[in-house]
Structure 1
Amino acid sequence: MQFELDITKRLRSGGEEFLLRSRFSTADRALVLFGPSGSGKTLTLQAIAGMLKPDEGYIRINGDVVFDAGRGINVPTRNRRVGYVFQDYALFPHLTVRENIGFGLKPLFGRLKKADADRVEDLIHVFGLANVAGQKPGALSGGQQQRTALARALATSPKLLLLDEPFSALDQPLRLRMRDELSRSLEQFDIPMIMVTHDSDEVESFAQTIVVYHNGNVENVHSADAIAASGQNLTETLRREVARAYN
């Protein structure tokens, strides 16, 4: 994946202004946005997905320009070919697992095409959801909800998967198991991803490139391989960096 982002966004809430100034690029397939809560990670993810329009700058995915303020380009979310897994999964409570997974494939009127319906069934089986396919999200466990959200994000065959703290709603034992499941899914579907987290263990599990945020700014960009080659510990390196940002 070739990814380039250079954006600025000013937000005002309660009389206070938050300035997001995010700039980085990578050719790696697993990118993690790391930093404390409220530092601008999720805002960056929303801008990539097209849910937040920056004031300035550009976003390019594999050479395709999806946003460029100077050129007046702002590709709609539905045309960016990105899958998004929200922190709370954002499943539609009135739809079944099967209907949630197929939501992005369904035309405004009418039923799913046979090929799309077959894809939904394939995803149901890949993610082990056959026994709950007819149930609604309120009847699912946390792990089942996450697998449904991931299957829904992958149903449209996106070229990039965006994950906003996908394990934060899970208890520790389930979190560890779902990390393994996500790793297998990323390999099976051969899809690059950008993940938001403030958990250094998740950075170690997934990151090739780590973008460190603090107070709306990108403080540093690290290569996990370069840190390992230098003999340093990735988790300790990130902890020191975050600690310095608060000094």
Structure 2
Amino acid sequence: MTELILPARAARIDIAPNARANDVLLSLRDVHLSYVDTPVLKGIDLAVRRGEAVSIIGPSGSGKSTILRCINGLIAPQRGEIHVDGIDVRAQKTDPQRIALRKRIGFVFQQYNLFPHLSVLENLTIAPMRVLGRSRAEAESDAHALLAKVRLADKADAHPGALSGGQQQRVAIARTLAMRPDLILFDEVTSALDPETVGEVLNVIGELADEGQTCVLVTHEMRFAEDISDEVFFTEGGVIVEHGRAAQIFGNPSNDRTRLFLQRARGEDRAGRVRRRA
């Protein structure tokens, strides 16, 4: 991984000024999920307050991405409770119910999933017009503002195939924002990018967090997770081994397994930067 230059964290701007500081937007309690006889999640407890940025870290296969998919209803756990702003996610059984839920939960995946035959502007306006019922003028006005926000104001008429991976991922973030979600889930959004384009995507996410957008991130970018996160959850083997404020988890973890994981992750990070400089 190339060394990233991340901007200093700005003061938080609350996007929900009437929300209390302890207002829990997302909660998971005792969530269990198994595939046949293979347990994947073994009693996940997690809470995210409105306006927080939370990172889920841990080794590959520890259940991180599965947690995100349970939050927005893509996967149904066998046991436990999941609530988003008071909505019982597991109780949303019909297509209209799931669509209504996913209007409020944005999901940015590893792959960009843009429509290749549509322009960047069309990729941003199609869902607000068809799902939210916005007029073309309103949707396009929002889309241009969001493209400026992710530093792609000059790419409205381009097609995804003409963009770099980092540019496509920023378009995917802008498309998610166009739905004005309460919560955004980011699933390893830099894993498919060239090292040179990772920073431009992480900077956009960092700015969203600084503005008070509630985010849950699954990431292997440890330096970024330490910088952006209010709370950090370390998972292994389908359980949350340790969680706490970012400064505590990265500065003085209490669990030996967390400490070993971070030592190895930081060692790989440093080695990667040295190799690329050589």
Q: Which residue of 1 aligns with 2:141?
A: 118
Q: Which residue of 2 aligns with 1:193?
A: 215
Query: In 2, distance between residues paired with 1:10 and 1:116?
Result: 41
Say if 1:111 and 1:32 are closer, same or farther in 2 by CA, change over 3 A.
closer
Q: 1:153 is aligned with what amino acid?
A: T
The question of whether the paired residues in 1 share the 8 Å contact of 2:53 and 2:209 is answered with no
Which of 45, 62, 66 pairs up with 1:43?
66
Which of 227, 244, 266 pairs up with 1:222?
244
Q: 2:41 is aligned with what amino acid?
A: L
Q: Secondary structure at the match of 1:213?
A: strand
TM-score with structure 2 setting the length: 0.73
- Alignment of 1:166 with 2:189, yes or no, is yes
Uncovered stretches (5+) of structure 1, i.e. residues with no partner: none
Percent identity of the aligned residues? 31
The question of whether the paired residues in 1 share the 8 Å contact of 2:92 and 2:98 is answered with no
Query: In 2, distance between residues paired with 1:199 and 1:180?
Result: 12
Measured after TM superposition, the shift of residue 222 of structure 1 is 2.1
Deviations 1:94-115 (A, max 9, x none): 222111112321227x984422
The question of whether the paired residues in 2 share the 8 Å contact of 1:200 and 1:238 is answered with no
Q: 1:232 is aligned with what amino acid?
A: N
Which of 9, 14, 17 pairs up with 2:38?
17
Say if 1:9 and 1:128 are closer, same or farther in 2 by CA, change over 3 A.
same
Uncovered stretches (5+) of structure 2, i.e. residues with no partner: 1-22, 265-278
Measured after TM superposition, the shift of residue 142 of structure 1 is 1.5
Which of 149, 152, 156 pairs up with 2:172?
149
Q: Spell out the pairing of 1:1-247 with structure 2 (5 A cutoff).
A: 2=24, 3-6=26-29, 7-12=31-36, 17-21=38-42, 22-27=44-49, 29-62=52-85, 64-68=86-90, 72-74=91-93, 75-80=97-102, 81-107=104-130, 112-188=135-211, 190-227=212-249, 232=252, 238-240=258-260
TM-score with structure 1 setting the length: 0.82
Measured after TM superposition, the shift of residue 132 of structure 1 is 2.0
Q: Secondary structure at the match of 1:87?
A: coil
Say if 1:19 and 1:185 are closer, same or farther in 2 by CA, change over 3 A.
closer
Equivalent pairs counted in the alignment come to: 232
Say if 1:174 and 1:238 are closer, same or farther in 2 by CA, change over 3 A.
farther
4+ runs deviating over 6 angstroms = none
Query: In 1, distance between residues paired with 2:158 and 2:59?
Result: 36
After superposing the two structures, state which structure 1 stretch, 177-186 or 145-154, moved more: 177-186
Q: 2:170 is aligned with what amino acid?
A: R
Q: Secondary structure at the match of 2:235?
A: strand
Deviations 1:165-213 (A, max 9, x none): 111122333223332232123334x311000013322321222111111
Which structure carries more strand by proportion? 1
Say if 1:185 and 1:60 are closer, same or farther in 2 by CA, change over 3 A.
same
Measured after TM superposition, the shift of residue 233 of structure 1 is 7.6
Measured after TM superposition, the shift of residue 53 of structure 1 is 1.5
Query: In 1, distance between residues paired with 2:120 and 2:259?
Result: 39
